[in-house]
Amino acid sequence: MNTWPDMDMNAIDRYLQQLRLHSTGSVMVYRCILSGFQRFVMKQQETQLHQSTIAAWLRERADRCQMHIVVHRARTVDRFLDFLVSTGSILSNPFAELRSRCSQRTDPAIVRALLADDPEVAIEALKPIPQFASFLGDAMRSHIELMHAIGYRYNTQAARFARFDRFLQGRQDLVGQALENLLQQWSATQPTLEHAWECQQLGRELGKALRRFDPRVKLPAVDTQLCRQIKQQRRQPYIYTEPELVQILNTARQFPSPCSPLRPHCLYTMVLLGCCAGLRIGEIVRLDLDDVDMAAGQITVRETKFFKTRTLPLSQSVLAALGEYLEARRQAGASQVGTSGLFWHGQRAERYSYVMTEKLLVRVLRRAGLKPDKGRVGPRVHDLRHSFVVNRMLQWYRAGINPQVHLPYLSTYLGHKDINSTLIYLTITQELLQQAGERFRTFAAHQRTIQGEQP
């Protein structure tokens, strides 16, 4: 390319058009940022967009604006440059190249590095250390590969191994020492209960991996007191009452969203699937249009936790609400392709991400008055799933059904690997105790009657 893609902002117009922004104010802000960047690049009179040009533009912005504004404008320009690369207008996006070079997923760290006194040194400092390069790295890597080959996702454990490997790479004095001593040294770096628990979990997993090569390796002992302390420290689930669930649903239906009229319908249906079908947030956001079968009255939840796919029947009231949402979705102009996201919005991704879904549902809980305005305290979105389990048990008790016989069905409906996972969700409430106590009194009275009739 010999010049910047255009001189009359046609590229910016095409980019803004495909963003499908609903707010006129947002369009004006985007156009102002991108046109300012374009004028700056054109003044440089370079044949190709370089890192130095990006750095010079950022320094000019930093002299006039606060850092968070500079980062926001850098993100806007970054996405625009990705668009230009995809259309063949420019050869490369310097932001994308730097993210790849430094293994960064977002722009803030890149922006700060480019604004440093010595950008190259700052960029080099962002580069991550090599993974599994410690003296136990090969053993950890082979164990993770084995677990993946068996069929486990093993993501949580692999991340734990990676953190321990980074610690060992910084402590060359520990090379060759026993596993027990390595765990003690790692535990001392962060004397908290959660870190002690992580050290214990890693010790057991790594010990099993090392024993495949050396049977003499001893597995670290399990600290039962630590296990009890961890269980006591964890947040107890909150079981929503029926009036609270009604309040949450009404709040979701009335959620203020002038620029996205479909959003209240989305949030209402999401909450409904959480409290009436026990779906996880990740399962909700991954639903496609084809996963809903209104004729059969069911939805299909595909490839979720433990690699499970399950088909869930829904009640008539839930199906009616889902049908209303599908009609509102169609009228909003959403894609009717079967692979499109069930919960649609008009932006480029066309479906809600996990992070945005959780943020919006937390805002619903706050607006409903069930969760404080700030902090990670109070009821959680995941507690809708806990409430589903408890309410299902209550309905069985009220209908005179033996819950113990039906627990395997509930476990399958929830997508659990066994009944023990379902029992974790079974939080004992006062009403549940009353129903269980009444069932036991009926049973005991029947037994006394039988014994009284015997000679």
Catalytic residues: 280, 305
**Residue 290, token pair as written in the block:** 């084809």
Q: How far apart are CA 419 and CA 389, in angstroms?
A: 12
3-state secondary structure of 229: helix
Q: How far apart are CA 443 and CA 8, in angstroms?
A: 84
Q: How far apart are CA 143 and CA 294, in angstroms?
A: 45
| Residue corresponding to tokens 């760290």 | 109
Contacts of 14 (CB under 8 A, 6+ apart): 87
**Are the beta carbons of 107 and 58 closer than 8 angstroms?**
no
Q: How far apart are CA 341 and CA 326, in angstroms?
A: 12
Q: How far apart are CA 134 and CA 112, in angstroms?
A: 30
Q: Which of 142, 135, 220 is nearest to 174 (CA)?
A: 135
Q: How far apart are CA 150 and CA 153, in angstroms?
A: 9
Q: How far apart are CA 226 and CA 93, in angstroms?
A: 50
Q: How far apart are CA 299 and CA 103, in angstroms?
A: 38
